[in-house]
Amino acid sequence: MSPTVPREPETLKRLIIHEVALLRAAAGRSAGVRPRPAAPDGADAPTACACGGSPDRSHSCADGGEGHDPWACVCAALPAVPVSAALLAPVTGEDGRTEDFVIRAGNHVRSAAWLEAPDQQVGRRLREVRPGVDGTGLLDSLTEVLRTGRALRGFPVDYTERRPDGLHRAKLLYDAASCSGQVLVTWRPAHDPAELMSLEAQYIATMGWARFDLLSGETTWSEGLCAIFRTPPGRPMSLLGLCDAVLFDDVPRWGRLLRALLDGEEPPGSDIRFTVNGDVRTLHVIGRPVISTDGLPWALHLIARDLTSVIHGRQRLAATRRQTERLREEAAAEHRVASALREALLPRHSSEIARLGYAVAAAYLPVEEDAAVGGDWYKCRALPDGRILLAIGDACGHGIAAVARMAQQRHALAGLAHTPDSDAGQLTTWLNELVCADASAETATAVIGHLDHDRRLVWACAGHPAPLLLHGGAATALDTRHRGPLLGLLPGETYAVDEVALERGDLLLLYTDGLVERRGEDLEDGIDALRAILADCAGRDARQTLDAVVAHYADDSLEDDTCLVAVEVL
């Protein structure tokens, strides 16, 4: 072929037509003229039939009697039939209807190793030698052939027979034609074992094969290739038809493969895309030319494997990997943002607080190891009037959205806390109004209080667990009879305060509910357990106490983020 590879289908098709025409012309010149041998004059007629029987035995058929000429009987042709064949005569009942057939002659071909050859069944009825034939419709079909004269082609029969070595089953295809008041019938396996294994291999591997006879133009496709291209069996596509089915961008690749084959080469396989009923399918195609003694390729063999599902699987895997990487990057970015927010929003403790007579330690325990911060927060800072603002809260949710709500509430409280002469109840009331006014906000809990220079805690509570007080070696929860509803729940709610006197050595522990709340367990049991842990920390400072509490819960499965603040009275 031309060294130039066509890049569009029509040019490739013209090139194939040209090369095949040259090939046929060359093959015709090399073939020459071969005379057909003639029968010798005066040859004697054979004295025995083609199957080996003698005229005395009436050619192994049921036509007995004087004057029977086995060579004039149609059964004489049966030995030439390569599949099981028999001549059947109808058996009529009293009503004149055909009720069975008798086998008048048969050849020696077995359709299955466990079935008798037809010539061993001569003189017997079809229902006798095929006892399960009644339920197959074969008798009716043969009767119809006898009545109408129309041939029967490829009539399928699933036949099962019990033999001494067990049950056997075969699927047989019957062909039949009317013959002078009788029926000539042939049958063969639908598939022999080799064909069945070939079909199974094709379907399992989603592959098929094709043979293109370049001299005769005959094209043969396997069932597997017909299934890939969704063409009816027995209607394969030609080489030119495949050129029309190739995706336009893959025409050069298809052209290189065909050019090499027509040049008598065995090219490496190639992945080529074809359009099949509107779908694009990727096939791995390999080929081999069939070379004659004159060195010319007179046929092409192609084997194609459908890689479409593999390609789609790889594409889905790549897409999943890209999505996973994108989510990983987003999670990492969110982690970095949350970490930065945590550093900005969860404060360090100033030396000014220590000068006012208090020591503070804080910790944050996320429910997920990779989460830097959630909706839990605290605030501890000295105010211009000499008091210390002490607050802890929990904005509903996790992640960046909860961080945003937490930041709004915490910064709002920081601004409100500078209002002259405001107490903890007023701050909580104002913060509730801000949360209620935000349509996108969710509820939150909080404890807001002031520590003054007289060692007093004046505090308000909005649905939050009460702080624990460690005093004299005993840990108790502060009285919450003044506690109000969650922030954002009831607009116009006024929050009350309570006052607690503190002494040197006392320690307050403020915490969010993630530390004590467990699914299926009573909240009071969780609080009692925390009180016992805190009581065991008597005599330790704020940092040591907080470290001991965190260590105790380190192996516990937290179900929510947790924030803790320990305040020691110096």
Lowest-confidence region among 196-200, 329-333, 363-367: 196-200
pLDDT digits (tens, 9 = 90+) for 251-279: 999 999 999 999 999 999 999 999 998 89
Q: Alpha-carbon distance 116 to 241, whole Å?
A: 45
Residues in the chain: 570
What class has domain 347-569?
A: alpha beta
Q: For residue 498, which phi and psi values (nearest 5 degrees)? A: -135, 160
Write the single-letter amino acid at 491.
P
In this predicted structure, the answer to whether residue 15 has a pLDDT above a threshold of 70 is yes
Instruction: Report the alpha-carbon distance of residue 97 to residue 139 in Å, rounded.
Output: 12
What contacts 272, CB < 8 A, 6 or more positions away?
246, 247, 250, 253, 254, 257, 282, 283, 285
**CA distance from start to end of the chain:** 100
With tokens 């229902």, the residue in question is: 127
pLDDT at 54: 40
Contact at 8 Å (CB) between 162 and 58? no
pLDDT number for residue 341: 60
Residues 6 or more apart whose CB falls under 8 angstroms from that of 296 comprise 23, 26, 27, 30, 264
Give 195-251 pLDDT, tens digit per residue: 666 666 777 768 889 999 998 888 999 888 988 999 887 789 999 999 999 999 999
Cα angle 376-544-503, degrees, rounded to a multiple of 5? 85
Centroid of chain to Cα 399: 32
Q: What pLDDT is stored for residue 392 in this prediction?
A: 96
Question: When comparing pLDDT for 532 and 164, which is higher?
Answer: 532
Residue 259: left (phi > 0), alpha (psi -120 to 50), or beta?
alpha
Which CA distances in Å does 38 have to 35, 43, 44?
9, 11, 15
Q: Cα–chain-centroid distance for residue 563? A: 43
Residues 6+ apart with CB under 8 A from 213: 219, 220, 298, 299
> Is residue 7 predicted with pLDDT exceeding 80?
yes
pLDDT of residue 435: 92
- Please tell me the least confidently modeled range out of 40-44, 140-144, 481-485: 40-44
3-state secondary structure of 567: strand
The DSSP-derived string for 52-79 is S--GGGGGGSS--STT--TTTSGGGGGG
Model pLDDT, residue 369: 59
Bridge partners (DSSP) listed for residue 382 = 388
**Percent above pLDDT 90 for the chain:** 48
| DSSP assignment letter at 292 | -
Q: Quick: pLDDT tens for 288-320.
A: 999 887 788 889 999 999 988 888 888 788 888
The pLDDT of 557-563, averaged and rounded, is: 83
**Sign of the alpha-carbon torsion through 381, 510, 429, 340:** positive
Q: What is the pLDDT of residue 34?
A: 46
User: 3.40.605.10, 3.40.50.300, 3.40.50.150, 3.30.450.20: which CATH number matches 9-25+194-306?
Assistant: 3.30.450.20
48 — pLDDT class (breaks 50, 70, 90): very low
Listing DSSP states for 207-225 in one string gives EEEEEEETTT--EEE-HHH
Mean pLDDT of 99-106: 93
CA–CA gap between residue 98 and residue 522 (Å, rounded): 88
> For residues 123 and 83, is the Cβ–Cβ distance under 8 A?
no
Burial of 230 (0-12, 13-18, 19+ CB in 10 A): exposed
Task: Identify the band that residue 519 occupies on the pLDDT scale cut at 50, 70 and 90.
Answer: confident
Taking 90 as the threshold, does the pLDDT of residue 158 lie above it?
no
Nearest CA to 411 out of 399, 393, 429, 437 is that of: 393
Two tokens, residue 569: 């009275």
**What pLDDT is attached to residue 438?**
85
Q: What is the largest distance, in Å, between two alpha-carbon atoms of the chain?
A: 146
Mean pLDDT value across the chain: 84
Q: Does the structure show a pLDDT above 80 at 398?
A: no
297 bridge partner residues: 291
**Does position 472 have pLDDT exceeding 70, yes or no?**
yes
Pairing verdict, β 562-569 and 358-365: antiparallel
Q: How confident is the model at residue 145 (pLDDT cuts 50, 70, 90)?
A: very high
Asked whether 371 and 556 are in contact (CB, 8 A), the reply is no
Report if pTM > 0.85.
no
Q: If we measure between CA atoms, which residue out of 184, 162, 163 comes closest to residue 103? A: 184
Greater confidence (356 vs 131) lies with: 356
Percent above pLDDT 70 for the chain = 85
State the Cα–Cα distance between residues 269 and 292, nearest whole angstrom.
23
Asked whether residue 193 carries a pLDDT value surpassing 70, the answer given is no
Query: Residue 70's pLDDT is what?
Result: 52
Distance between CA atoms of residues 218 and 483, nearest Å: 94
Q: Where are the alpha helices (DSSP H) in 347-445?
A: 351-355, 399-416, 424-437
Give me 268's structure tokens.
Answer: 């490496």
Q: Name which of 114-118, 279-283, 372-376 the model is least confident about.
A: 372-376
- Among residues 213, 235, 387, 366, the alpha carbon closest in space to that of 302 is found at 213
Structure tokens at 493: 């709610």
Sketch the domain layout of the chain as residue ranges.
9-25+194-306, 73-190, 347-569
pLDDT given for residue 122 in this prediction: 92
Burial class (CB in 10 A: 0-12, 13-18, 19+), 534: buried
- Please, where are the H alpha helices in 484-552? 523-535, 542-552
73-190 has CATH 3.60.40.10 classification: no
Please say if the pLDDT value at position 406 is more than 70: yes
For residues 515 and 550, is the Cβ–Cβ distance under 8 A? Answer: no
Listed in order, strand segments (DSSP E) in 13-151 are: 84-92, 98-106
Do residues 464 and 390 make contact, with C-beta atoms less than 8 angstroms apart?
Answer: no
Task: With beta carbons less than 8 A apart as the criterion, state whether 170 and 111 touch.
Answer: yes
Alpha-carbon separation of residue 178 from 59, 76, 142, 148, 556 (angstroms): 21, 16, 9, 8, 89
Q: What is the pLDDT of residue 63?
A: 53
Question: Do the domains spanning 9-25+194-306 and 73-190 agree at the CATH topology level?
Answer: yes
Helix ranges, 183-303 (H): 193-204, 223-229, 239-245, 251-262
51-80 residue pLDDT tens: 344 444 334 555 555 555 555 667 788 888
